[in-house]
Amino acid sequence: MKQRIVLHIDFDYFYAQCEEIRTPDLKTKPVVVCMFSDRGGDSGAIATANYTAREFGVKSGLSILAAKQMLKNRTDSAFLPADFEYYSDMSEKSMNIIKKFADVFEYVGRDEAYLDVSEKAELDFTKASHIAQQIKNEVREKTKLTCSVGISPNKLLSKIASGYKKPDGLTTVTPNNISEFMETLNLEDIHGIGKKTQQKLAAENIETISQSKSLDIFELINMFGRKSGTYIYNAIRGIDDESVTIRAPMLQLSKISTLREDSVDYAFLEKSLLALCEKLHLSILKENRMFRSVGIHLTQDDLSTKTRSRMLRNPTLSLDELKKYQDNYSRRHLRINLH
């Protein structure tokens, strides 16, 4: 395959860092960005937290009440409502700086992007490292934000590398040290190898990347199917041929609702999901957009989450299509979990 140099840019604790920049006095305090629910009070979940708060165990997805309990001895803690308009503005300023360094720029989200710099770096990883440092310096100078950068021959490794020395890190994985780098990782560090995959491997006494390499591609396909098995075989070896692709920022529309009370009543939950579908559809019509991807995210009373999504065959703006997906999800997943 043609040699490439790919950068992955990942902003550190982005929402909380934006709040620290807006209010510098917060830098030494635990900062927790919250998604407050319509139940009122402290009902809701954590969107992100700065590293000071993370030292106490606070992390994304945790309930606000649980986070406050963890930080009960830090009376200087700041629990702030998420301000997505402000975060989007900070992101746009940063991405406009970053994209000028790329041969090909791929926007992933407010705090994340891929850059193919193969031509600008002349396939030289030392030059690519200098480009990455220039990006970090200019972003910090103009927005005060810090970001971590991973550099490697592909997207998979660059994403792993950007998280290797957070915060404010810069990690380079050259073609010659891929194997050495992979040996420093855990299976869970590889995108796409989740808990269920790890459990299945553990049942075969496979718990490390080194051990997983003892399985040939046919054994992995037999265990996980052709697509997943082939992906795992390549991923544990640091192999990835996905291109950096120019893509406009996708518009994501969502509606979030917290039930007035916990419930295992299927009819009530289904009715609540239908109401969300109707509200979401109104937003879609107002934006004059079509949608192609649909997803549902549930947080249960033990704070565990379940997420399901589906790519539709064709773009649509049909409310019936939304309801059809919701009905299919309810029948396949809610009933299983409630009975």
Could you tell me the pLDDT band of residue 38, with boundaries at 50, 70 and 90? low
Residue-wise pLDDT for 40-81, tens only, equals: 678 788 999 999 999 999 998 888 999 999 999 999 999 999
Could you tell me the pLDDT band of residue 147, with boundaries at 50, 70 and 90? very high
pLDDT of amino acid 313: 79
CATH hierarchy code of domain 185-246: 1.10.150.20
Which carries the bigger pLDDT value, residue 163 or residue 271? 163
Q: What topology does CATH give the domain 25-82?
A: MutS, DNA mismatch repair protein, domain I (3.40.1170)
pLDDT of amino acid 288: 73
Dihedral in degrees, nearest 10, Cα atoms 290, 291, 292, 293: 170
List active site positions.
Answer: 112
Mean pLDDT over each residue of the chain, to the nearest integer:
90
Q: Average pLDDT of 3-7?
A: 97
Residue-wise pLDDT for 275-307, tens only, equals: 888 888 888 887 777 888 888 877 776 666 677
How far apart CA 123 and CA 100 sit, in angstroms, is: 18
Q: Using DSSP, state whether 236 is helix, strand or coil.
A: coil
Could you tell me the pLDDT band of residue 221, with boundaries at 50, 70 and 90? very high
> Per the structure block, which two tokens stand in for 96?
């406009």
Which carries the bigger pLDDT value, residue 11 or residue 252? 11
Q: Does position 335 have pLDDT exceeding 60, yes or no?
A: no
Residue-wise pLDDT for 177-207, tens only, equals: 999 999 999 999 999 899 899 999 999 999 9
Q: Does position 337 have pLDDT exceeding 70, yes or no?
A: no
pLDDT of amino acid 39: 67
How far apart CA 283 and CA 281 sit, in angstroms, is: 5
Q: Please, what is the Cα angle at 246 between 244 and 249, to 5 degrees?
A: 115
- Domain map of the chain by residue range? 25-82, 185-246, 266-338
pTM: 0.78
Q: Using DSSP, state whether 100 is helix, strand or coil.
A: helix
- 3-12, 29-38, 134-143, 205-214: least confident range: 29-38
> Per the structure block, which two tokens stand in for 150?
């991973």
Residues 137-141: contacts with CB under 8 Å, at least 24 apart? 138/97, 139/94, 139/97, 139/98
Q: Average pLDDT of 31-38?
A: 86
pLDDT of amino acid 336: 47
Looking at the chain, the whole-number percentage of residues with pLDDT higher than 90 is: 65
pLDDT of amino acid 247: 75
Q: What topology does CATH give the domain 266-338?
A: Dna Ligase; domain 1 (3.30.1490)
Could you tell me the pLDDT band of residue 338, with boundaries at 50, 70 and 90? very low
pLDDT of amino acid 308: 80
